[in-house]
Amino acid sequence: MTESSENTDAPAGREISIRTRGLDLKYGDFQALFDVTLDIEKGIITSLIGPSGCGKTTLLRSFNRINERYGNVTTTGEITVLGKNIYDSDVSLSELRKSVGMVFQRPNPLPISIYENVVFGLKSHTPRGGLKKPELDGHVEWALKQVHLWESTRDRLEDKATGLTLEQQQKLCIARLLPLKPQVILMDEPCSALDADGIARVEELIRELRKEFTIVMVTHNMGQAKRASDECIFMYLGRIVEHASTHELFFNPKENETAMYIEGRYG
């Protein structure tokens, strides 16, 4: 098993949003990641694929250090996000998670109004009284338009967000991030709770968001990885096996483990 040449220093002109070097991660005595070294390019969609338990979600959650919420986590090596080592002593976790937003597998809107869901993060990061109602209204309209929810919710912004369909809830969770102006959005199987039509519409939205954000997505759906990703990273047993353009990885894999996985021979 070898690492792809994609894991070397990026060529000139290729802007990198996330870079890891020699990343190891343990939960207690269990090592989940081994010597992860990779570059994730700015302004594209990169999918993390591989069998269950291979470290995809652990790696994703490392990029904004949210995995540390689960306790007993030991990390060595380096993760640089937007040019800054996120383990430096002067890094604010609040500011990191503002720049690197996250969308989870199951839609998790807060049990409050649609309007308050959209402005929740913005209010949390703004001194009390710092934003007036017209400003908040503008953020809500803009964010909901970005995720194609404005027309269907504009007349019921005070309704509880939990009354929306699952597809609408997931779009709202994405909208909730946008007023904070993140530069990276992490997505952990964002379509797994949706039906086929919902998957298609959320994938279309993700492709649109790529124009403004770097997106890193965990998916078990190989069709989705092929449709929605610019690059794919195949992981196995906590290691990076191969990192290449989506077309190259699916149609001309360099590693036998990659070929076996995408052909459905394990995982």
| φ, ψ for residue 82, nearest 5 deg | 55, 35
- 92: which 2 tokens? 């604010």
Mean pLDDT for 46-58 is 96
Q: What does the block give as tokens for 263?
A: 């052909």
Name the nearest CA neighbour of 176 among 222, 120, 229. Answer: 120
pLDDT in tens, 154-170: 999 999 999 999 999 99
pLDDT of residue 71: 80
**How confident is the model over 189-211, as a mean pLDDT?**
94
Q: How confident is the model at residue 14 (pLDDT cuts 50, 70, 90)?
A: confident
pLDDT tens per residue, range 218-264: 999 999 999 999 999 999 999 999 999 999 999 999 999 999 999 88
Closest CA to 257 of 234, 224, 238: 234
pLDDT band at 12 (very low <50, low <70, confident <90, very high): low
Q: Residue 178: its pLDDT value, please?
A: 96
Most confident of 33-37, 131-135, 210-214: 33-37
| H-assigned helices in 72-149 | 93-99, 114-124, 133-146
Q: CA-based angle 257:210:64, to the nearest 5?
A: 70
Q: Where are the domains of the chain?
A: 5-109+183-262
The pLDDT score that the predictor gives to residue 262 is 92
Q: What's this model's pTM, rounded to 2 decimal places?
A: 0.92
Kindly state the tokens that stand for 156.
């019921």
| Dihedral over Cα of 212, 173, 227, 7: its sign | positive
Amino acid found at 194: L
pLDDT of residue 127: 77
| Separation between Cα atoms, residue 97 and residue 31, nearest integer Å | 24
Instruction: Decide yes or no: CATH 3.90.1150.10 for domain 5-109+183-262.
Output: no
Q: What pLDDT score does 3 carry? A: 35
pLDDT at 267: 62
Give the pLDDT of residue 228.
Answer: 95
- Per-residue pLDDT, averaged over 187-203, amounts to 94
- The CA distance from 166 to 150, in Å, is 16
